[in-house]
Amino acid sequence: MSLSQLSLLHVRNLAEFKIVPDPRFNIIEGANASGKTSLLEAIYLISQVKSFRTHRINHIIQHKQAELRLVANYLDHTNNLHIIGLERSRSNTRIHLNKKPVNQSSQLAALVPIQVITPESHRLLEDGPKFRRQFIDWGVFHVKQSFLQVWKDYHRILRQRNAVLRHKSSKQQVTSWDAPLVDITNRFHNERLQYLQALIPIIQSYTKQLTDEDITIEYLPGWPVDMDFRQALQASYEQDCQFKHTRVGPHRADLSIKSHSIPVQVGFSRGQQKLLVCAMRLAQIQYLQHISQQSCIILVDDLPAELDSNHRAKLLNLLDETGAQVFITCTDEHLLELSANTSRKVFHVKHGQIKEVV
């Protein structure tokens, strides 16, 4: 699975271009502010229809331009070619897949699994639990696409119960939502649990290879673990009324990751945190390949940041082993010691102009 061609217009500072990436490694090299991360952002847009840097997609449209345009040729795991077109104005997005309009961006997300590692990746560990839930749900969604409906149904029922809580309704009106919520929660919870049971040992193994440390990972389901969800919901009723929203459930879930019994957020160095996040993402990539033969596109922004040469080499080696298409940015390609027989292309970016180095 790989991007076999990419052309774009009016993305950040980038000049109009067309590139034919290597199916394996693509090194994007250039000085600060040349446009390297912008190129990764453009690739990410093709899958996610949003940026990994900003919530404001308008920021990505080139100054003084009305819209951006991207066209990508994408080969899926059965080697079928898909042509993806995306146009984004300041108020409107139009997506085409094989010349047919696409209304649901999740269709592209399902077709083009993508993973991103950036110098801010440690935020997956340090920021709120929302990011760790997104991490889990990304994996469950790609492994089992019926999960998207379970996710949507859970959040719809939760919103309805919360609306009743906000309107000072009777106890009977609130608890009438409990049975459907318990039912969908059991399905939601089991899907996450099954996925994590498979994923956690793979994360631990990658973490050991990259950091030499042993870690424990515990899934906190969003309610006290000594209760089942029905009991937790009943026990939470008074508090739910007081706070006017449901305070237990998969929307409050989290992962607790520890090394030597200390949360990695405080126990690990910045470099170790980056390597752990890489291990988490590599595990998702490997497990997805194992289950569905689908591989990911991997974007690594500023790979050398925070990593010494030994850890850079270890990470590059593991990225190589995935067999996936990888795009790596760096200010100096000599910092990336790829093994000699790994297929690659190098692109040089200067003031928004991208040129393949031949």
Ligand X SMILES: Nc1ncnc2c1ncn2[C@@H]1O[C@H](COP(=O)(O)OP(=O)(O)OP(=O)(O)O)[C@@H](O)[C@H]1O
Both structure tokens of 68? 């951006």
**Stretch of 61-69, 77-85, 228-236, 238-246 contacting ligand X, by CB under 6 A:** 61-69
**Taking CB under 5 A as the rule, does residue 37 contact Mg ion?**
yes
Query: Is residue 35 a contact residue for ligand X (CB under 6 A)?
Result: yes
* Range list of β-strands (E), the chain: 2-9, 17-19, 25-30, 67-75, 81-89, 93-97, 100-102, 114-117, 216-220, 254-259, 262-263, 297-300, 325-330, 344-350, 353-357
> Which one of the spans 28-36, 69-77, 94-102, 226-234 is the region binding ligand X (CB under 6 A)?
28-36
Pick what 38 binds: Mg ion, ligand X, none; C-beta below 5 to 8 Å, kind-dependent.
Answer: ligand X
Of 121 and 211, CB closest to Mg ion: 121
Q: How far is the CB of 22 from ligand X (least distance, A)?
A: 20
Give 37 or 289: the residue with its C-beta nearer to Mg ion. 37
User: Which residue among 4, 7, 48, 62 contacts ligand X (CB under 6 A)?
Assistant: 62
How many residues make contact with ligand X (CB under 6 A)? 15
Handedness of CA 338, 340, 344, 349 (dihedral sign): positive
Contact 255, 110 (CB under 8 A): no
Among 2, 26, 34, 207, binds ligand X (CB under 6 A): 34
Contact 98, 31 (CB under 8 A): no
Stretch that binds Mg ion, among 9-17, 36-44, 222-230, 305-313 (CB under 5 A): 36-44
Told to check if 50 binds ligand X by CB under 6 A, we report no
Q: Identify which of residues 252 and 345 has a Cβ nearer to ligand X in the complex.
A: 345
Shorter beta-carbon distance to ligand X: residue 29 or 240 = 29
Helix and strand numbers (H, E) in the chain are: 12, 15
Asked if 353 is part of the footprint of ligand X (rule: CB under 6 A), the reply reads no
Contact 17, 71 (CB under 8 A): no
Applying CB under 6 A, the residues found at the interface with ligand X are 12-13, 30, 32-38, 59, 61-63, 331
